[in-house]
A and B are shown apart, each in its own frame.
Chain A
Amino acid sequence: MLKGRSLVDPEDFTLEELESIFELTKKIIENEKDFNDICHGKILATLFYEPSTRTRFSFEAAMLRLGGQVIGFSEPGSSSVAKGESLADTLRTVGAYADIIAMRHPNEGAPIHGLKYCPVPLINAGDGGHQHPTQTLTDLFTILDAHKRLNNLTIGCCGDLKFGRTVHSLLKAMSRYENVDFVLISPHELQIPDYLKEDLKRKNIKFQEEERLENVIDKLDVLYMTRVQKERFFNEADYVRLKDSYILDLEKLKNAKENLAILHPLPRVNEIKIEVDDDKRAWYFKQVKNGMFVRMGLIIKLLGVR
């Protein structure tokens, strides 16, 4: 039963609960009209303490398509936060007005702290470089869409794996499924944080760390691309040596499996060349739309309106 619950960590829900959200999402996609008034009279508050267009729009579009309404702020300067209000007080207050809250916060662990004070379901819409569980719901749903399964997969994550919260959440979530291996492709400086590495080791999950995408692309069932920013490298020489390795083009894809699913949390800059967009293995724009549908499913479940 997900009614009244919150989502702050990708492991908050059981696999069965995730499955129930995905089932509902499929129904929404198949027949969206059946759901367009289901949240009538309900209010979603979007508290975005740092800028985001994609995730915020996705949440707001999801609620509006369900017939609900949306309040919130898109940067804290225009709210009582600028006056020095604590997160605890903001959540208690907004929770008195709204039925459900989606929050993005620059500080890691903010939603876990917020749970103690928030009187309505709280959804973590990204906390610093930590977790982004609704992106993970989107990613899992898209992998399921592409491969019809979430087990027996080799998943490559490429780019900035140190600060990329979407990758952190994806690793946590996918490591719960059977026989899932990871190939972590990044410069040494941008490898996944120690806590995640220790977590994977503790769970006996197979993972390989690799510097170059071209060395491993042929093994992958899923390739999760993220952006590597020049300023993240510790020195210019490494950046020059490795930068092309984190750019996906049709040349690299020649060695990839026919049924590879290429995902990206977006926004993309240059890490996937535009020439890849028309390849049938490019799933990232479908992933964007899936993100809105899966958030519709999540809102319905947490509000318990169905």
Chain B
Amino acid sequence: MLEITSIKKGIVIDHIKPGMGLKIFEYLKLDKADYTVAFIMNASSKKYGRKDIIKIENTLDIDLNVLGFLDPNITVNIIENEKIIDKIKLAMPEYVEDIIKCKNPRCITTVEREITHRFKLVDEQNATYKCVYCDHIYKWE
């Protein structure tokens, strides 16, 4: 079995649904990171059967808000001295930027250059966001 050693200090993003890990890797721009990152796919999981895991070493300065948008069931552990010192409870962020695009073909985001795709949370229970420009509803599924 493949073994990835524990980290001394950093962040462990755990219980990622299998297949979602790569997307998170991209959203967090970890492909451009200058610190050590381990990306584990299809690890065995009691909860899901299979899961993805991301381990980020020696940095704690990452905006993890997007994880709450992608899947609030993901767990995020903060590690110091090889121990979990904090578990971050994820919530759906009030705004998400440049993660999803508006599907309204008449929206200004479809034509204007270098525009930020921005959505506001309008209904947490139903994971509903709306485009801040045209109000088009986006339901995360």
Contacts and interface: CB of A to CB of B under 8 A. Distances in A.
A130 interface: yes
A109 interface: yes
- Which among A127, A129, A195, A198 has the greatest number of chain B C-beta atoms within 10 A? A195
A130 B136 CA distance: 10
B137 A194 contact: yes
Given A130-B135, A195-B130, A87 B112 contact: yes
A118 interface: no
Contacts of B133: 108-110, 112-113
Interface string B70-86: 00000000000000000
Contacts of A107: 106-108, 110-112
A128 B137 contact: no
B130 A108 contact: no
Nearest to B104: A108
Contacts of A194: 137
**Interface band, chain B:** 20 to 34
Contacts of B114: 86
A114 to B, nearest CB: 9
A111 B134 CA distance: 10
A112 B107 CA distance: 11
**Interface band, chain A:** 20 to 34
B123 A106 contact: no
A202 B123 CA distance: 9
B122 interface: yes
A66 B124 CA distance: 48
A128 B130 CA distance: 17
B127 interface: no
Given A108-B107, A128-B106, A86 B112 contact: yes
A18 interface: no
B131 interface: yes
A70 interface: no
B122 A105 contact: no
Contacts of A108: 104, 106-108, 133-136
Contact of B108 (A110, A129, A193, A198): A110
A108 B122 CA distance: 19
A88 interface: yes
Contacts of A196: 135
B47 interface: no
Interface in A96-141: 105-110, 112-113, 127-130
Contacts of B122: 198, 202
B106 to A, nearest CB: 5
B117 to A, nearest CB: 11
B128 to A, nearest CB: 8
Given A128-B106, A194-B137, A112 B132 contact: yes
B111 A113 contact: no
A130 B134 contact: yes
Contacts of B113: 86
Interface string B95-131: 0000000001011111111110000001100001011
* Pairs A-B, 10 closest by C-beta atoms: A109-B133, A108-B134, A109-B134, A107-B108, A109-B108, A110-B108, A128-B106, A195-B135, A195-B137, A108-B106
17 contacts: A87-B108, A106-B106, A107-B107, A107-B110, A108-B104, A108-B107, A108-B134, A109-B109, A109-B133, A112-B108, A128-B134, A130-B106, A130-B135, A193-B135, A194-B137, A196-B135, A202-B123
Given A108-B135, A109-B131, A109-B133, 14 more contacts: A87-B108, A107-B108, A108-B104, A108-B133, A108-B134, A109-B108, A109-B109, A109-B132, A109-B134, A128-B134, A130-B106, A194-B137, A195-B130, A198-B123
